[in-house]
Structures are given as C-alpha cells and as structure tokens.
Amino acid sequence: MAKIVVFFGGSSTEHSISIRTGCFICKTLHTMGHSVKPILLTQDGGWVVPLEYRFQIPFASVNSPDSFLDEFQRMNDVSISKNLSSLDADLVFLGLHGGMGEDGSIQGFLSVLGVPYTGSGVTASAIAMDKTRANQIFLQSGQKVAPYFEIGRAEYLSSPETAVSKLESLGFPQFLKPVEGGSSVSTHKIANSAQLAQSLKEMFASDTKVLSQAFLEGTEVSCGVLERYRDGELRTIALPATEIVPGGEFFDFESKYKSGGSNEITPARIPDTQMKKVQELAISAHKSLGCRGYSRTDFIIVNGEPHILETNTLPGMTETSLIPQQAKAAGISMEEVFADLIEIGFKHSLD
C-alpha cells in the first residue's frame, strides 16, 4: 500500500464540486488500505496541509465549503501556507477541477517536485482545458464539432459591436462559455442579440477568452475512457455511454451536481451502432489530446452523427458523477478504477 496525498478544493469556480470529489476519492482510497492525506487548496490559493496521515474528513459538511474548511482544520493538526515546497507522498491523486488544477499547472508543479500523480500530463491537460485548441485537434483528427468562434478580451474591447456581430452569425440559440473552464460553470444559453451583448460584457469582466458554439439539437451523451494494464499491455477501453436528459434547458452546473437535476441513463438509450461509434470517438479524443489514465468526452448526437462538445481530463468523482455510474454499468468497481489510475500514475507521470 502507498502513501497517497489527495489534492482537492482549489481556486477555480468548481471549488465546491472538487471538495465532493476529494472526499469520495479519500474514502475509496481508505477502503483500499492506502495511507491517505487530504490536502485542501483554499479558494484564495492557500494550502491546508495535515501534519500526519490521518483519515479525518468532515463528510457532514461536504456541501458547505466554508463549514468544511473550518471543520477540516478543527479535526486535523494542519499547517497553512501560500507555498508548498515538498510533499511526503508516494503519489498525488488529483481531485481538482478547472483552473490550475486541470490546466496543467499543478501537473507541472508535481513534475518539478518529482512526485507521481494521477491523470493526464501537462500538455494534454492544457490543451483539453483550452476548448478552442481542443476543437482544432478534434477537427484535424476527423471528428465533428459544433460550429464555433473564439473572442478574446482585446478583440472585444476594441469593438464590442463587431464581436457581437461575429457571434450572431452562429444563429440563436447558442452557447457562450469561458474558453478555459468546466462543469458548465458560467455557460450561458443565448437566445438573442441583446442577451449576447450583455453576457459578453459580464463575462469579459473576469474572463480573457470566451467561446461561443452553435446550438445543435439532438441526444446528449457522455462517455468515459479508462486505461488499464493487463498482462503487461496498456489497454484503452471506453465505458458504456450515459444519456443526459437535463432537468433544465441544458446540462448546466445544477443539472450535473444537484440531486435530481438531470436524468442520467446508463447505458444510453441509443442504437448499438451509435453506442459503438461514441465509444470509438471517445477513445479517439482521449488519444488525440494525449490524455492519460482516464477522461470523459461529451457528445451531442445529431441525425445519428456524434459531435464532440468537450473532453474532461479530470472528470468528476462525486457520488452522482458519470464515471462511477459508467464503471458500475461495465461491472468495474471504483477500487479497480483507482488501482489502475495509481498504477499508470506511477509508471508515466514523470516520463
């Protein structure tokens, strides 16, 4: 068994979801017999580090980030700092989402420290987080994506009217989102030009680049990919895809993480030929981006043809997340999934 540090929390807008992911990861690793040390990254960039490997987590406060932080510090002897120069760990299990947790920054930091970690490396993490660059790679590899435009802050500020006009050519409705982000945080379904102008103004108050994609009507599905060593050979498999039936207008933040916020059907209610195609494309997306360990790719199926929406390199691992649902449908326990991620992390993180 290994000494495993779990990073969770973080400074991104997905801080609260990462807390739930981190707790699920810690609990699973503990049941597997590993020594677990959860390290909480606060929203203002601080590191809350327990001094010992003790399984002390305030599960009752998991849905309240402020209470969780207070209880976490009360239950553990911790050091709090703005810097983390060393780690007493065999491996770091990443439970972060969005921001520096998923864009390659943390991955580069751990590589410098010489500590193995789970999930994709620096390059794949950075590219997958940048939705525009990821779309370019998907197109080059023969995948279908929704028509899109990227607008940068400088371009917008030089002529807001021109930026609005450019995006109007995509038609309405359309989806406006930060180029770098996840979990549908700050994703807006835009119905008309006035709403587009207002949303752009609000988003550029904090974002440097935004992406707008044309609305595609069809069946939304999501497909996880796992890497596993078997008989000395690395195999990449796709899990049964999940059909997403949002409770709201689209699969937004609340639909993803609020109990009952969406109807998630695994396996998806699609023909076997479409299921096979989605699984093949999910593996293709995983490999074309250079992902490692696992990923999850979201699609919209239009007239039988899957179009990629995005690939997540650190998919959610909460109780309601899709990878656990899909693994269960495939007859794979989360202990098996985690064991594979740990093995791949040891073998490849520092390549």
Q: pLDDT tens digit string along 242-257?
A: 999 987 555 444 544 4
More confident position, 150 or 185 = 150
pLDDT for residue 248: 56
Tell me: pLDDT of 135 over 60.
yes
pLDDT for residue 83: 86
pLDDT for residue 319: 80
pLDDT for residue 255: 47
Partners of 306 in beta bridges: 301
Q: What is the pTM of this model?
A: 0.91
Q: What is the pLDDT of residues 12-59, one digit of tens each?
A: 888 999 999 999 999 999 999 999 999 999 999 999 999 999 889 999
When pLDDT is averaged across residues 129-153 and rounded to a whole number, the result is 96
Tell me: pLDDT of 296 over 70.
yes
Q: How confident is the model at residue 317 (pLDDT cuts 50, 70, 90)?
A: very high
Alpha carbon 121 to its chain's center: 14
3-117 is classed in which CATH architecture?
Answer: 3-Layer(aba) Sandwich (3.40)
Task: Name the one residue in this structure whose structure tokens are 């796709």.
Answer: 238
Q: How confident is the model at residue 260 (pLDDT cuts 50, 70, 90)?
A: low
pLDDT for residue 181: 59
Q: How confident is the model at residue 258 (pLDDT cuts 50, 70, 90)?
A: low
Cα Dmax for the chain: 59
148-214 is classed in which CATH architecture?
Answer: 2-Layer Sandwich (3.30)
Give the tokens for residue 98: 């969005």
pLDDT for residue 257: 46
Tell me: pLDDT of 265 over 70.
yes
Contact 264/251 with Cβ under 8 angstroms? Answer: no
Provide Rg for the chain, Cα atoms: 20
Cα-flanking dihedrals φ and ψ of residue 138, to 5°?
-60, -45
When pLDDT is averaged across residues 197-210 and rounded to a whole number, the result is 93
Tell me: pLDDT of 143 over 80.
yes
Tell me: pLDDT of 286 over 80.
yes
Least confident of 52-56, 133-137, 156-160: 52-56
pLDDT for residue 86: 83
Give the tokens for residue 151: 């607008």
pLDDT for residue 131: 93
Q: Where are the domains of the chain?
A: 3-117, 127-144+216-348, 148-214
pLDDT for residue 85: 82
Question: Which positions ≥6 away from 53 have C-beta within 8 Å?
Answer: 3, 35, 36, 37
Tell me: pLDDT of 100 over 90.
no
Q: Which CATH superfamily is domain 127-144+216-348 in?
A: ATP-grasp fold, B domain (3.30.470.20)
DSSP notation for 118-167? SS--HHHHHHHHBHHHHHHHHHHTT--B--EEEEEHHHHHH-HHHHHHHH
